[in-house]
Structure 1
């Protein structure tokens, strides 16, 4: 040790006594090699240097990387949280391949986490300023076991990524120094956040100081692009990674992005041969860039004398505070929204979109579908349509963003390229008409009246010449608000309804896989001609289903009404239904615990939308595993609304004399008395949840010790504190025991005998998603009565009921 320290002091003395060019060090160290305080590694092109330094007036020592041939500018620090108080620090590689920083007592001050151990490790400082640990036999970037670019400090260099590795969960972000003398992590960070869509954030603590709008497919909304010859910005988003980086465009100019300790993000450039850094820009540079500067439902316009205004339809929450230029309280609606009355949208152009706090995205829809989706969701307060996503979408449709609640951090932009339009939902009384619009409306009314009279006369004449059968078909196609397909097109798509294309059948008819001319795969449901449904009833149902827009509901794409044919086209679900997996001895293992949890939450959210967030309150009445379809990514979508019913605004429960559905999922009050409500669906969800956890069917379940169904068996195990025994055996390696118990408890709460005891779906989602929440103890489930020991599988064909038509949603009418 004394020999090593003497050598280190000797090198330090030499480097201080002779010209700097005489002390050029190697760029790497290997096993049992080291560098001490006063020694350095220098990259092969002499651009960067690694060694020990003291920042500002501090006497603490840190291992860092800095530009070599410019004024010392540190770009990376290893031991930010553990400074060395003396000159005895040593960087070395242990025999086990670990790269470590030691102090005088040989204690490890800093060491990176390694995913694997290299056989012949070498630590090398690259010409990019990246310190890497790799195997000496492989210099490719894929062989890096660790790199300093994966653990940035306060500076972003060309080629360095800021963002996420979605496979490993690694987040790369810049973190400011605490002060100019202290490189330990400060309060500010520069990162990429992901809330469905990625966006850039300059954060302060856990909050936000500045943020961009979402990535719209081409650029970040709200970040005015700067055309320059110094650097080129790059953004990548795929299934493996989401990150931003920049590349140098000019070899004569050095560029870096630094988050300084005062919370500003600076782009600095240095011309080769110069001794001073020049600021290209600093961020934030104006008040409108500060997060939420105008409060909730306000918009910031930098060119105005008073830069903060309320959005159309809103007024200052406190006019007195606004008059004093205190606008933090924001704005509130002048006329509250009423989902049952007429409402419209006002378009605000060229803005940075509001923060994505309470929102969701629907991809691959048209602008009109986006508007309809927002109108049909009572909690939707605004929507925006990202046209840029249409460029990569085969059907030419873009992305629909919908917000709920307050709109935070909207600002007007000067650059059209980074700007988007947003449509704010307001009461129709707030829309108003200006003078030009009134004149235009008068002209339109005059022309429309004349055209209407002429059209009416021609229509009367034409109707007398049409055959009655042709009139019936024409009437059936009016006002469906849904694409209509010719029977010939559908026949071609399904190979003339070939049996080889059939993917399902039932009392409603048959389902076929079809491929439309543009290459879109669809599920074609050809309804049975034995259905007693008339044209008008079919029209009502199709219009209603078309208005249900949620990512966890199967989407209706179109229909066909031709002669006696009644055909529906749905989005095609390649992974079939949930029962195809969980009840199969081999395929059940494909759904690990995490995926089953995602499926459960998806079903719950779809059901909550039907019960609460859609324009009409809808009771599904036939929720079961075979009606949960799975898309390419095994995301669940509720299907088959054949037995669904609409509830009125204040209607809590109704009764029917015709009991239809599937035994094993139907609630006791529905089977016995014909009463059904949202709590009937909650019961079905509980049964489905217990089936997902156990991998066993409720109907047909048997046990050697008793003759209860699956719900009764789950209750008995719960009473005996043996609930984990209900879990599917294939989940043992992937499950989290506390989550399994919580799911079983929620399932038992949902299948309680009395409807009043069962939770609402909003409570179900809260209980499933919050492990810290305290759950009530369940009471005994419905149908908690032992059956006679009959082979229920042989009876299932006689007692499992279904509807004759898969889309019989009844419209409530006054009597």
Structure 2
């Protein structure tokens, strides 16, 4: 149901499911089925606050199974449901005759009749139930409810739509069972709009099963007493309720499953179960239909008129649609009043403009013809063709640019030979150096080493993901450890990098001269086929490793690593546990987060250290190795932090190149071959820049 609820004036404190002779149900009480699935009581809603209806609703939702007095709403709160001593079930009120739902004559003169609300949603009076009636009291079909006919009593079980989404008065559409054809049919004022088709193998032709949602079991009973259809949901834990809308659409519960779309049936099409009418409209053709959108009509010529029919408020939106369809000059329609009755029509020469701003207050139904569909189809084809042409042009341009670049940068075999010669010159210029020998700390210049591909591959564990520190614009960066214990960082240039041989050679020379060799330095390089790698000291800052960015903050990072080395008495690469290798940054960060920073201290300092000074040095060291270079202090700030003990320090953030783990082992092993003495620290010579 698509109306807004204002209040539910039901009292659940004294839940009961049965009315006995003499019992009453008023606006402040209710019935609740045994398992609590359904409730029954009087209800009002905002579009007609003075009137109430006796309804049965799902307890777990706002949907209604059926309404008893759809044609005769009662002034609130005067209605009272009564089962009197004469076995008559009726709604009494002060302003008129009672609404008799069932009388004693309809119950075969049975005695001691009770009325019970079942967990199926049926309200059973002895053997007679409200799951259907000749008055068509419902617009929803619940599992187990009947659609069909009782041949003995003449009762017809069917459901009818609401007059408007906010008026429970029976509307234009009905859903019933055709006992002769054994088909479900949706009719509008007696004219068949939709048929379910033949029932075979447990399914109807035009109720197609959706493997993910639409799961029903159908049952058909046909004998001399009655012919009827029922359904049940395979998933008994969920809520199923077939609802027939004011426009003829049949859906299940939350509008996500369509059972039938009679609102798309116009008497001239047969798709989806739609039926041909005996007298189709000559000016309408297959493919013509009304669409609902927010927008407005704009006149395109003389003779354009907008007319309103305010004389007949019994016209629903469905009646407006039927009237507009029969008028060959009608291009669109809408309801006239706020309660969605009356009609407004647009005839003549109009063009519908869709509103993309959302300012339109209501939707308008406008006619789309087969010609307009063809035009739209052609427009889509044109747009698709234009898009494909544009993409093809773009691809061709990119290919031309790449080809031109290749011709410009690599003019044939000559350019390739030049590159090969330059690479050979680079290797030969440094080949006299021992590949495994490392430059002594403190030396200046660019005495770079040529590393073999095998040694770099072994140091990085075959470039495994566990050793991958990250990836920048020029390629991935790996951590590694040489056979002699030296920790290195390897920048492996991407094969599609724009850095050429000339740029590669210049970086080798310029970076080696630019950086202080006691701190961040480039150790050498490796050229192997198309592979080009730069080998850096393990103190390399992350912004340079990832993006090739060098600044004064890069040396600050290296200073922080050295500070932590001095405090711990260990080299950067001497920390490991059973799970993985750790550098000193990760080890110090883990202890700091556990509040155990003092455990980083070299045991040889046990007798001579000052605790506050040691903690401050660790604090400053962690500030220097933060991941974001902008967060690191400058060297002048570092000096102030170390000399001014009253100066407050910021909280360190997560450092770069930190390897996370579950816990920090305070007793991490140190390789016996690398137990350090004072001579094993990296030596720093103060040299003016």
With normalisation by structure 1, the TM-score equals: 0.31
For the pair shown, the structure with the greater C-alpha radius of gyration is 2
Query: What TM-score does the superposition give when structure 2 sets the normalisation length?
Result: 0.36
